[in-house]
Chains A and B, each alone.
Chain A
Amino acid sequence: MAVSDSKIIILEDDQALARAWGQLLEREGIQALITSKPDEARDYLGRHRVSTLFVDCLLPTENGVDFAQSIRQQFPKEILDIVLMSGIFTDQSFVKESLRSAGAIAFLKKPFANEELLRYVKRAETRAEGPHPRKVLYQLFNRQGASARDKRKAIEALEDIHGFDLPFIYEILVESRLSGHLNIVADKGEVSGISFADGDIVGVDIADKSTYIGKLLIESGFLLREDLDDALNIKSTKKLGERLIQGNLVSPHGFDIVLSNQMSIRLSRTIVDQNVKVNFVMTEVEKTSPSISRELFENFLHDWVASKITTEWFRAHFMQWANARVVKTASFDLRPEVLRRPLVANLDGVIDKITAGQTLTELIDSKIFPEHTLYKSLHFLLTLGLISFDEGRVLNSQERLKLMRKMMQQFTNKNRLEIFDLMSKMTSLPESQSDQVYKEYLTLLGSEPPVTEKELYGLYGQLLQIGKGAYDFARSGNRDKMKEELMKGEVEMKLKASTLFDEARNLLQKSQYKEALAMIQKAAALDPKIDKLHLYLAWAKLGTLDPKNRVQGIKEVDMDLMQIAPEDKFDSVYNFVMGLYSKAKGDSAAARKAFEKAIAMDNSMIVARRELTVLSSTNTTKTDLLNSDLKSLVGSLFKKSR
């Protein structure tokens, strides 16, 4: 909180002194309320951002120390400095006790020099310190001029972050070619870690020790299920991979590819919708195989941004750049291949439109692109450092009003707990750091608008009050109780959603696509985070494709497929859906291959067998080498001949 954005209160009943201090602060350009009435000060504190409160210990209507104590209960030390003053009560024990009880930073014995007063006013300015470490991290959206050390320091300064921040942190470590271990601690205390060797990811250690190796080998086309079963039946102390390679069933290179896919699944599992703590231990790390190179990493990054990060997070995350414009960075022209990625290519003309000079708010409001896909596209390009935000201009009153209305809209019909959750998301800080969240929320609100701007001034005051109410609630014991209640409600919704989703899956098996689609959409409304939602949505949509509107329909399916998490792709249903997708696009060869893979992974998959039978009765077409699944092509190259 910078002094220029906040105000000072001096609670003093000596008229002459009050007048002199008022003049002094005015000369310094500092806004202050000078009053002798505690109620007036209290009211002012509720409506304005105040950085320092000076209180005379002996007030005509109230004990100054008691007053300060009551204020301290509402505003912690991080938000407000309290300075006590007295010319009468100056004995050491009184000073000591009142400083303690009021949580005051100083006790000024009157008379004191003007410089003393200014010193404590300025202290608030220095307390404004630098931006929060997470903000510093995201300043690296524009990395021009940032050294590897700057980037490392930005990561080292972090502690509490959100799981959705991890892709950006990985990108910074990969791009800076750093070596070391990124240790991650989840909410429940589980420790996981990623090892980097000169920018390549060489190790992913997560609590879930599932190997997925068998599934991955079959899915990648390196191995048939029968071969895997044979290898698993051999009695040997050797690891499965060694057995397969020695038995000449898989090539060492092919096995490496599968191991790096395994690594990618584990990496993807680290990107969770919860707060985590991180620290980076810079050290020499040996380059080992398999590893994830920068080029490969970019594929994963794309998929994580497309599939893992929620719109709710994006909306709150991007709030801090609401008035900034998107600009291309110097790296933009160096990476033309990035523009061919679905997150960019699927939004026609997205680069021209986002760099046309509109602010982020204007871009979102223009609704040229769906909000969630625009955020994803932006975040992908920002993460890779191809675009960044400009400094952000000072908003005029109309723009500010618009922005505040938007904030208010987000708060409407929400209880104090939900509002505080939103504030936590807007400021990208964990709810547990309530003081910090409130402080950053105040920064987000900006300075107080002039009283003459009636609507803006009123809205600002309301947002201030709403924020303060939610903050007070967050610090009270009621918060946990309410959270429990809300969680109960949430569990009920999730159960309902899960039942609907199960029914929809049954309907899909019976080819009742329309009914299934409606049911999935209902389930998604109840629980947008439902597992494998986009996979089954794609299945249902492919079943209901309107031949007259095929292109648009396939585009919609494209968006769903893009939002399937990488770890959900090593699954028989995914391969089956990819088969339907290829069939819809007229690529029978790719469709056949996908159905075969689905059956290889789940021998009892009747729907896939049915599709295969239908395909067999029609003529096959040539494989589309340019558009077929890259993994299948690579797989066919590295699979050992039988």
Chain B
Amino acid sequence: MSKYEIKVEKAGANANVVVSGVIDEDADFKPYDLSGATNIDLHLGNIKSINSCGIREWIKWIGTAGAAKVQYHECPKIIVDQINMVQGFLPSQGSVISFYVPYYNDDSGSEKNVLFKYGQEFTENGVKAPEAVTDESGAPMEMDVVEAKYFKFIKK
């Protein structure tokens, strides 16, 4: 069974892409050329991991989008980290529509990912985190990232 899955649905100038699984040296993006579409929505919520080979492949692949408007949805932390760190991981004409923010409760050790959406929890001007995030038992949770680093891409 393949470690990753890529589904592309094209409708006219729009492309809806779902990427999931492990993005590494085995990920072959060649069959999923993005050229031709002018609006590309990528849903990344089920990506489990990405290594350096995967990052390089991704940059090459996303480059095939050319000047298309690229939007990343449901970015997990591992993708946010790459957007922040690797130039070209999110193309210059691309934007993030939603991304996950890890939360943690120190006492119980419970972890949870909260989806931040553009226009609600963040805009280009900054982040407005939910006032309270609780775990299943109702205990308060704290944001589990270094904000200055994690939210850097928002102001890029």
Q: Which residues of B contact A159 (CB under 8 A)?
A: 84-85, 149
Does chain B have a CB within 8 A of A183?
A: yes
Does chain A have a CB within 8 A of B81?
A: yes
Q: Mark B82-125, 1 if CB is under 8 A from A, else 0.
A: 10111110000000000000000000000000000000000000
Contact of B49 among A185, A205, A278, A283 (CB under 8 A): A283
A-side interface residues toward B, CB under 8 Å?
133, 153, 156-157, 159, 180-181, 183-185, 189, 191-193, 195, 203, 205, 277-279, 281, 283
Assuming the contacts A133-B146, A157-B149, A159-B149, asked whether A184 and B82 have C-beta atoms less than 8 A apart, the reply is no
**Chain B interface size range:** 20 to 34
Q: Mark B66-81, 1 if CB is under 8 A from A, else 0.
A: 0000000000001001
Q: Which residues of A contact B27 (CB under 8 A)?
A: none
Shortest distance in angstroms between B106's beta carbon and chain A's nearest beta carbon?
A: 10
Assuming the contacts A157-B146, A191-B55, A191-B56, asked whether A181 and B85 have C-beta atoms less than 8 A apart, the reply is no
CB-based contact B149/A281 at 8 Å: no
15 sampled A-B residue pairs with Cβ under 8 A: A157-B149, A159-B84, A181-B49, A183-B50, A183-B82, A184-B52, A185-B85, A185-B86, A189-B86, A191-B52, A191-B86, A193-B52, A278-B85, A281-B81, A283-B78
Q: Give complex CA distance A279, B51 in Å.
A: 10
Contact of A281 among B50, B84, B88, B145 (CB under 8 A): B50
Contact of A183 among B25, B48, B55, B146 (CB under 8 A): B55
Shortest distance in angstroms between B2's beta carbon and chain A's nearest beta carbon?
A: 15
Q: Give complex CA distance A278, B82 in Å.
A: 10
Q: Give complex CA distance A582, B50 in Å.
A: 47
Shortest distance in angstroms between B1's beta carbon and chain A's nearest beta carbon?
A: 14
Q: Which residues of A contact B145 (CB under 8 A)?
A: 156
- B88 nearest CB neighbor, chain A only: A189
Assuming the contacts A279-B81, A279-B82, A281-B78, asked whether A181 and B50 have C-beta atoms less than 8 A apart, the reply is yes
CB-based contact B51/A181 at 8 Å: yes
B-side interface residues toward A, CB under 8 Å?
22, 25, 48-53, 55-56, 78, 81-82, 84-88, 144-146, 149
- A147 nearest CB neighbor, chain B only: B109
Listed from nearest, the 5 A-B pairs whose CB atoms lie closest are A193-B52, A283-B49, A181-B51, A279-B81, A157-B146
CB-based contact B52/A183 at 8 Å: yes
Known contacts A180-B49, A203-B51, A205-B53; 6 further A-B pairs (Cβ under 8 A): A153-B144, A183-B51, A183-B85, A193-B52, A281-B49, A283-B49
Q: Give complex CA distance A203, B86 in Å.
A: 20
Q: Which residues of A contact B53 (CB under 8 A)?
A: 193, 205
Q: Give complex CA distance A279, B48 in Å.
A: 15
- A153 nearest CB neighbor, chain B only: B144
B interface: dominant SS = mixed
Q: Give complex CA distance A157, B49 in Å.
A: 18
Q: Which residues of A contact B146 (CB under 8 A)?
A: 133, 156-157
Shortest distance in angstroms between B92's beta carbon and chain A's nearest beta carbon?
A: 14
Q: Which residues of B contact A192 (CB under 8 A)?
A: 52
CB-based contact A195/B51 at 8 Å: yes
Most buried by B among A156, A189, A191, A192: A191
CB-based contact A281/B85 at 8 Å: no
Q: Which residues of B contact A180 (CB under 8 A)?
A: 49
CB-based contact B87/A189 at 8 Å: yes
- B152 nearest CB neighbor, chain A only: A159
- A277 nearest CB neighbor, chain B only: B85
Q: Give complex CA distance A225, B145 in Å.
A: 53
Q: Which residues of A contact B50 (CB under 8 A)?
A: 181, 183, 281
CB-based contact B86/A281 at 8 Å: no
Q: Give complex CA distance A163, B63 in Å.
A: 29
Most buried by B among A181, A185, A281: A281
Q: Which residues of B contact A193 (CB under 8 A)?
A: 51-53, 55
Q: Which residues of B contact A203 (CB under 8 A)?
A: 51
Shortest distance in angstroms between B99's beta carbon and chain A's nearest beta carbon?
A: 15
Q: Which residues of A contact B85 (CB under 8 A)?
A: 159, 183, 185, 277-279
Q: Which residues of B contact A157 (CB under 8 A)?
A: 146, 149
Q: Give complex CA distance A191, B56 in Å.
A: 7
Shortest distance in angstroms between A204's beta carbon and chain B's nearest beta carbon?
A: 10
Q: Give complex CA distance A195, B22 in Å.
A: 13
Contact of A205 among B52, B82, B86, B88 (CB under 8 A): B52
Q: Give complex CA distance A195, B48 in Å.
A: 15
Q: Give complex CA distance A133, B87 in Å.
A: 22
CB-based contact B22/A283 at 8 Å: yes
Shortest distance in angstroms between A200's beta carbon and chain B's nearest beta carbon?
A: 16
Q: Which residues of A contact B78 (CB under 8 A)?
A: 281, 283
Q: Which residues of A contact B49 (CB under 8 A)?
A: 180-181, 281, 283
Q: Which residues of A contact B51 (CB under 8 A)?
A: 181, 183, 193, 195, 203, 205, 281
Q: Which residues of B contact A281 (CB under 8 A)?
A: 49-51, 78, 81
Q: Give complex CA distance A159, B51 in Å.
A: 16
Q: Which residues of A contact B56 (CB under 8 A)?
A: 191
